[in-house]
Structure 1
């Protein structure tokens, strides 16, 4: 679980960028989907707003519905209670900076608090956002962002190249190039499957 959860925050190993030795066949280059450019035409460089009102989902489906409220809390609390293990081959590591980060992701939250909030947003909005904050090129903090404040900014190939975070009329654009986070994309965007949207997930509350 730990590996899949943190995979987007891991920088690629140096070997992945090494040039092939003389006479060695060059591996096939990964190609983007040819349909991605069509997706990008409709929103490249511009923040793409979610077609749903997160505020209404949160108020009507969570805050004012005791059954949905309890269901979301049970799922979120159960997910947050699962112990996270860090493995190096067959050996479990008891001490590691990554374990320290997950145990205390930021000064205002414990690890269980962060996971509960992340899962809660995913259940209510169908989307959840985790921000990595780096100091001196090393990720030191993790923060959960409210979905109603985050917008996807598609790039030329259709994939998100940045995220806009808006609060009180002020917008901060967070680029995914990892220039300030040692090559690691600073935003992890989790979504539920949505058959009709290329960027945003479908919230379970919408189907209720």
Structure 2
């Protein structure tokens, strides 16, 4: 029985190779192919504030221009202060906003505040008190700030970390003067932080940046699309190791880099070039990049025409696009910022002051203002005081109606 078991095991065992006989090798159908490039999955940029600032504002010209257009335009709109219905051009709050600190003037402070809001979705400002009165305002970086929620879910403090130190700003609660102003854009899934326009257009941003990097890499790689060298030798023979190494070295030395751009590829007998990638024309490279740029501009509310992005221009001319930019993007943002500054700083001045903006001081809207004045002036059924009120001014002292003089509600 033992002998029968040994015989069966010997029959199942693989046959032994004779010494000196080379092992069997299967012929590979991919043997004649030399692949020069592979394909991977898409990689998207992180969505935190610092990454969006680096990949968006600091590396992308469309994002940079859109943010600076909105921020600088909003900072140029004149702010006015009211106590009740009366304008107070000499109010100390306007003086504080005109000179918020020793390093920034008023427009620079508002520009930095609004730019942070657009880039990160959050903007923070610190109030410095001196002798019980507001003395300075400072813009704080949003990537260094952390909201500390309390037991009830509302923020109980803000922590600002820099150079290894963390400064805690407690929230005084209702009725108190808060040391930190937190501006944020609407976020549907977060109670404490805002949602940045760049984040909504993050994929278009990555596409636009990758297109620029791909174009640069293509130029560095002799502006030649990827492909493969196929060896078609007689009898299906493959390249020897020596031939393979020599061919690889010649490709790296003679056909790579910007200096070798456009140099024709000389192939010996049996070698054939097979393209394995789409050409820029096949990819519609420019249209894809312009499409991503238009999507970025859409997220910020800037007409593509103002950013010199071709295609899909829905406005008849540049002036019309500029007016839409001011009416639909800049002025609502200025009004929102003025309301937030009022709620933050008004308690320091007794709570009676109100900040608003003067749309009449915007040069880009001069044509709209002139058209309004012309229509109101032609309305013969209105009195002089009614006409003044219709264009945003109070009744004049020498008018034909009642009321005291002075501008009123010019931001409307």
TM-score (norm 1): 0.71
Q: CA deviation at 1:93?
A: 0.9
Deviation, structure 1 residue 86: 0.4
Please tell me whether residue 77 in structure 1 is matched to residue 75 in structure 2. no
More helix by share: 2
Give the corresponding residue for 2:139.
144
Q: 2:79 aligns to what SS in structure 1? A: coil
The counterpart of 1:204, out of the listed 183, 197, 209, is 197
CA distance in 2 between counterparts of 1:79 and 1:119 reads 8
What are the within-5 Å matches in structure 2 for residues 12-27 of structure 1?
A: none
Note the residue ranges of structure 2 that are not aligned, 5 or more in a row.
Answer: 1-45, 202-412
CA distance in 1: counterparts of 2:113 and 2:190, whole angstroms:
21
Secondary structure of 1:188's counterpart equals strand
Aligned length: 155
Separation in structure 1 between the aligned mates of residue 106 and residue 137 of structure 2, nearest angstrom? 10
Distance in 1, Cα, partners of 2:128 & 2:150: 22
Q: What RMSD in Å do the two structures reach over aligned CA positions?
A: 1.6
Question: Per-residue deviation at 1:53?
Answer: 2.1
Deviation at 1:52, TM superposition (A): 4.4
1:170 to 2:144 alignment: no
Q: Out of 36, 60, 83, which is 1:65 matched to?
A: 60
| DSSP-derived class of the 1:106 partner | coil
- The 4+ residue runs of structure 1 with deviation greater than 2 A are none
- Which has the greater radius of gyration? 2
SS in 2 for 1:85: strand
The residue number in structure 2 matching 1:193 is 186
- What TM-score comes out, normalization by structure 2 length? 0.37
Per the alignment, in what secondary structure is the counterpart of residue 75 of structure 1?
A: helix
2:48 is aligned with 1:53:
yes
**Hey, what's the Cα distance between the residues in 1 that align with 2:78 and 2:70?**
15
Matched ranges for 1:55-134 at <5 A = 55-134=50-129
Partners of 1:96 and 1:113 lie apart in 2 by 20
1:158 deviates by: 1.1
Q: CA deviation at 1:183?
A: 3.1
